[in-house]
Amino acid sequence: MVQPLRLGLAGLGTVGIGVVKIVQRHADLITARTGRPVTITAVSARDRTKNRDADLSGYAWEVDPVALARRDDVDVFVEVMGGHEGAAKAATEAALAAGKDVVTANKALLAHHGQALAEMAEAAGRVIRFEAAVAGGIPVIKALTEGLAGNRIKRVMGVMNGTCNYILTRMQNAGLPYETVFEEARQLGYLEADPTLDVGGIDAGHKLSLLASIAFGTKVAFNHVELEGIGNVSIEDINLADEMGYHIKLLGVAQISGRGLEQRMTPCLVPADSPFGQLQGGTNMVMLEGDSVGQIVLRGPGAGEGPTASAVMADVLDIARGLRLPTFGQPASTLAEATPARSATPAPYYLRMTLLDKPGALAKIATCLGEAGISIDQMRQINQPGEEDDDAIVIFVTHKAAPADIDHAMTRFGNTGVLVDTPVAIRIEEI
Amino acid sequence: MVQPLRLGLAGLGTVGIGVVKIVQRHADLITARTGRPVTITAVSARDRTKNRDADLSGYAWEVDPVALARRDDVDVFVEVMGGHEGAAKAATEAALAAGKDVVTANKALLAHHGQALAEMAEAAGRVIRFEAAVAGGIPVIKALTEGLAGNRIKRVMGVMNGTCNYILTRMQNAGLPYETVFEEARQLGYLEADPTLDVGGIDAGHKLSLLASIAFGTKVAFNHVELEGIGNVSIEDINLADEMGYHIKLLGVAQISGRGLEQRMTPCLVPADSPFGQLQGGTNMVMLEGDSVGQIVLRGPGAGEGPTASAVMADVLDIARGLRLPTFGQPASTLAEATPARSATPAPYYLRMTLLDKPGALAKIATCLGEAGISIDQMRQINQPGEEDDDAIVIFVTHKAAPADIDHAMTRFGNTGVLVDTPVAIRIEEI
């Protein structure tokens, strides 16, 4: 008789209940596929009295997730509580110390403590798996760690926060300003309790830093991700970009070069007809580029009960099947300390500014660009309908320029005395 | 000192040389990721004197791949020769009998003999891995077998023959007839020696049958795939479909229901703005639909040295890392014998026919449709520019109809006496 693989499930929110449902509904399927039953021994959540959409009567209840993590009748500690300090961290450490494998959906925990936890797991001969932490139901950790293992990874790109993509596509489709759609998203329950995790790009930045570690064999360096959220993306820019054939996305890019590791999660213009440009609503997309395979694009639901639980169960089934890999694809001790490189990869930029109606205003701006070594691909002057004064909105699309040169030009613009408001610069990723 | 994993490589065509290059170029990367070196001990190909784009001087040469498969200094037999009988089959069997694991890119071999080979491998405690056999560089076997293992799979769809997709998109983009583009493809070296493997849909059908086995836990049943190639897709239909917002793709669909296992690889109309509709050239795309995860779409290069070798190496690295799964994701002995079900899932259909210029001709056709229980969503009459006579081309897009009802109507059309030529019916997949 094969021993079942016994789960201790910490967290009974959407994802936790999704896991319970799969374990209960697909017992036969799971046994057929792994050769052993997968069972839940015990669960833990803050509020035992809450009405939940699953039958939990067969499971022991632990008030304290640390106690759950240490139970003798638990083989795998499944952490779907969230939060990068406190109970989630303590319980994960307790599980590893007690010789349990860990499956987690917690990107924040790994982005902040991934190296230490990976070292702890490997010293204990245990594994930490986190498919659910990145891009929801898309098996992107597996694709990168295993499916593309024969490649030197050149670049990873992704739209990995469904809430941000929902807000940006809703702004575009309905012509609504950011504040209105943000409020809609809040009322629909799409936002984290602390919404800056979503709209500040932090959640997506966590995910990018985990992918970068696997891709480049480097220690997780979330603190070096260049982060810019979507709070400053205006409906004007969305509309103007659209007219020029671009959509605005919160896009993550990680790549490594002689200068070091570049990681950024920022709003970008992408071609409207590109796979990223066409991504609507809460769907996620990741592009993995390897030296042999070229570009692999994966698309799927980035959140929700079913998709996230599917990813958690993929990890559980891997453990049941005996697959044991180091957390980030190679032993934690061999991961390099990457030099952070501020993005220096040249790209075209979209620049928008409002100029005073003064003779020579445009010439002054063009001079700043020229002196910064930036050449102009397209320029458009927009007539503001219904505006009283004659201030002119001007849009530039530059040829490829180094980010530092764009910064330089932006500073110079401020000294010209012809700007009505703060100019906007958004990178264009021609994927 | 960790023992290296020693490969015996049978086949030194494009893919084989790609494997050699990765093993040589990425020795350090591979060792870092798997914890052990991967080496090539011996190789085999028909012509030893041929000039190849790789240094093979360090490898033993075997004229006979069976002898290669049996060598004591080979741990994994890598079969990239192709062909579903003869040497590839004999050598694969010899490798399993000699206690070697097998990595193969050979979809034909597995489509015809997958069940027997899987049983042989499992009896010997060996694994057969075949990521490279389906959709080139896309890690779709891994995504389905492992990444979505917690799901009951509802449906698998895919554009999995790059040559067919090249021909169809080239016809559309250049407005050229099938015969012209087929000849171009032949001259570009895109076609198999036996082109019906590509354009007859056989190669893509092989791939679909392998995905279906994993997805539904059924024995590979290539002989029950409904196959229709692209040889009858006319430039007229491509253009007319385009005007209505559809592109024509050679699309595979596999799904299971109470009636049995439905597998078809046929030309279909798909919405032009859908992911499948936008797929250009030799790129492949697979959609996996699970009960928890929803729809996951994977896109990438479907062939070529780098992508296919990347997939072969993913399997090799899995073996080096100790991952051992049954060939089709569950023990071969537990795979069910699926009842083949001719596709009965209703769908809208595109119908094209040329009618004689006779009073009541259209009414007769409409009557046939009505009597077959098929209702019409759109109807268009096309004026043929420059035609002498007044025969009318008529296009129907039906509401959802059962395939049997469409067949029934098509038969009835023939009895009306108003058709100038054979009518065309193409299924529409609204993805």
Backbone angles phi, psi at B393, to 5 degrees: -85, 130
Query: Between A and B, how many residue pairs show a Cβ–Cβ distance under 8 A?
Result: 186
Binding site as annotated, residues of A for L-homoserine? 192
Confidence class for position B39, pLDDT limits 50, 70, 90: very high
Quote the minimal CA–CA distance from B246 to chain A in Å.
16
- Which residue in chain B has the smallest CA separation from A334? B32
CA distance linking residue A172 with residue A235, whole number of Å: 7
pLDDT at A387 over 80: no
Q: Mutate which of A24, A296, A333 to disrupt the B interface (most B C-beta within 10 Å)?
A: A296
Backbone angles phi, psi at A303, to 5 degrees: -160, -175
CA distance linking residue B99 with residue B127, whole number of Å: 10
Residue B147 CA to its chain's centroid (Å): 20
Contact at CB, A142 and B138, closer than 8 angstroms: no
- Return the H-helix or E-strand segment holding A409: helix A403-414
pLDDT score at B131: 98
Q: Mutate which of B17, B33, B284 to disrupt the A interface (most A C-beta within 10 Å)?
A: B33
Binding site as annotated, residues of A? 107, 192
Q: Mutate which of A129, A144, A146 to disrupt the B interface (most B C-beta within 10 Å)?
A: A146
**pLDDT per residue over A43-82, tens digit each?**
999 888 888 989 999 999 999 999 999 999 999 999 999 9
**pLDDT per residue over B328-381, tens digit each?**
999 999 999 999 998 778 999 999 999 998 888 999 999 999 999 999 999 998
DSSP string, A14-78: HHHHHHHHHHHHTHHHHHHHHSS-EEEEEEE-S-TTS--SS--TTSEEESSHHHHHH-TT-SEEE
For residues A92-99, give the mean pLDDT. Answer: 98
- Chain B residues lying within 8 Å of A291, measured CB to CB: 306
Tokens 């690889």 — which residue?
B265
For residues B122-150, give the mean pLDDT. Answer: 98
Tokens 């069972």 — which residue?
A39
What are the distances in angstroms from CA A154 to CA A148, A157, A261, B138, B410?
11, 10, 11, 16, 53
Helix count and strand count (H, E) for chain A: 14, 16
pLDDT score at B389: 63
Nearest to A33 among B33, B313, B330 (CB): B330
Residue in A341, A325, A426 with CA at minimum distance from that of residue B142: A325
For residues A316-335, give the mean pLDDT. Answer: 97
- Chain B residues lying within 8 Å of A294, measured CB to CB: 137, 300-301, 306-307
Quote the minimal CA–CA distance from A292 to chain B in Å.
4
Contact at CB, A294 and B35, closer than 8 angstroms: no
Contact at CB, B150 and A34, closer than 8 angstroms: no
3-state helix, strand, coil in chain A (%, to 5): 40, 25, 35
Contact at CB, B311 and A325, closer than 8 angstroms: no
Contact at CB, B150 and A331, closer than 8 angstroms: no
Strand-pairing partners, residue A42, are: A8, A60
- Chain B residues lying within 8 Å of A330, measured CB to CB: 32-33
Contact at CB, B292 and A301, closer than 8 angstroms: no
Nearest to B310 among A151, A324, A330 (CB): A151
- Chain B residues lying within 8 Å of A147, measured CB to CB: 131, 139, 142-143, 314
The mean predicted confidence, pLDDT, of chain A is 95
Helix count and strand count (H, E) for chain B: 14, 16
* Residues 6+ away with beta carbon under 8 Å from B407: none
CA distance linking residue A255 with residue A110, whole number of Å: 20
Confidence class for position B232, pLDDT limits 50, 70, 90: very high
Query: Up-side HSE of residue A80: CA atoms within 13 Å toward CB?
Result: 30
Query: Up-side HSE of residue B300: CA atoms within 13 Å toward CB?
Result: 33
pLDDT score at B1: 64
Contact at CB, B310 and A290, closer than 8 angstroms: yes
CA distance linking residue B404 with residue B382, whole number of Å: 27
Quote the minimal CA–CA distance from A60 to chain B in Å.
23
Quote the minimal CA–CA distance from A306 to chain B in Å.
4
Nearest to B322 among A35, A299, A324 (CB): A324
pLDDT score at A88: 97
Decide: residue A362, CB within 10 A, 0-12 exposed, 13-18 middle, 19+ buried.
Answer: middle
Confidence class for position A1, pLDDT limits 50, 70, 90: low
Which residues of A are known to be catalytic? 207
CA distance linking residue B200 with residue B189, whole number of Å: 17
Contact at CB, B307 and A293, closer than 8 angstroms: yes
Quote the minimal CA–CA distance from B315 to chain A in Å.
8
Quote the minimal CA–CA distance from B374 to chain A in Å.
34
- Chain B residues lying within 8 Å of A142, measured CB to CB: 139, 142-143, 146-147
CA distance linking residue A298 with residue A142, whole number of Å: 12
Confidence class for position A388, pLDDT limits 50, 70, 90: low
Nearest to A148 among B139, B294, B323 (CB): B139
**pLDDT per residue over A294-315, tens digit each?**
999 999 999 999 999 999 999 9
For residues A225-236, give the mean pLDDT. Answer: 95
Q: For chain A, give the number of residues.
A: 431
CA distance linking residue A418 with residue A356, whole number of Å: 5
For residues B203-208, give the mean pLDDT. Answer: 98
CA distance linking residue B137 with residue B314, whole number of Å: 10
pLDDT at A241 over 70: yes
- Which residue in chain A has the smallest CA separation from B15? A292
Nearest to B137 among A294, A299, A329 (CB): A294
CA dihedral over A7, A12, A16, A18, signed as positive or negative: positive
pLDDT at B163 over 90: yes
pTM: 0.96
Contact at CB, B297 and A296, closer than 8 angstroms: no
Which residues of B are known to be catalytic? 207
- Chain B residues lying within 8 Å of A311, measured CB to CB: 147, 293
pLDDT score at A430: 86
If one counts every other C-beta atom within 10 angstroms of the C-beta of residue A403, the result is: 19
- Chain B residues lying within 8 Å of A137, measured CB to CB: 292-294, 296
Secondary structure of residue B36 in the 3-state scheme: coil
**pLDDT per residue over B253-290, tens digit each?**
999 988 899 999 999 999 998 999 999 999 999 999 99
For residues A1-18, give the mean pLDDT. Answer: 94
Secondary structure of residue B377 in the 3-state scheme: strand
Nearest to B292 among A18, A139, A318 (CB): A18
Contact at CB, B300 and A307, closer than 8 angstroms: no
A169 within 8 A of A280, measured Cβ to Cβ: yes
Query: Up-side HSE of residue A112: CA atoms within 13 Å toward CB?
Result: 12
The mean predicted confidence, pLDDT, of chain B is 95
Structure tokens at B396: 């129907």
pLDDT score at A300: 97
For residues A27-54, give the mean pLDDT. Answer: 94
pLDDT score at A297: 98
Nearest to A293 among B151, B292, B306 (CB): B306
Backbone angles phi, psi at A419, to 5 degrees: -90, 135
Complex ipTM > 0.90? yes
CA distance linking residue A27 with residue B390, whole number of Å: 65
CA distance linking residue A3 with residue B33, whole number of Å: 30
B166-169 long-range contacts (CB < 8 A, ≥24 apart) are: B166/B190, B166/B281, B166/B282, B167/B199, B167/B230, B168/B230, B168/B233, B168/B238, B168/B247, B168/B248, B168/B249, B168/B250, B169/B279, B169/B280, B169/B281
What are the distances in angstroms from CA A22 to CA A132, B134, B273, B288, B293?
15, 28, 34, 18, 11
pLDDT score at B2: 85
Contact at CB, A294 and B317, closer than 8 angstroms: no
Confidence class for position A84, pLDDT limits 50, 70, 90: confident
Sheet with B424-427: strands ordered across: B376-382, B392-398, B349-355, B424-427
- Which residue in chain A has the smallest CA separation from B22? A150
Q: Mutate which of A31, A305, A310 to disrupt the B interface (most B C-beta within 10 Å)?
A: A310
pLDDT score at B150: 98
What are the distances in angstroms from CA A89 to CA A70, A117, A309?
14, 9, 20
**pLDDT per residue over B80-127, tens digit each?**
998 888 999 999 999 999 999 999 999 999 999 999 999 999 999 999
For residues A119-132, give the mean pLDDT. Answer: 98
Secondary structure of residue A155 in the 3-state scheme: strand
Instruction: Catalogue all structural domains in chain B, each as residue range(s) with its CATH number.
Output: 5-133 (3.40.50.720), 140-301 (3.30.360.10), 349-427 (3.30.70.260)
pLDDT score at B291: 98
pLDDT score at A386: 56
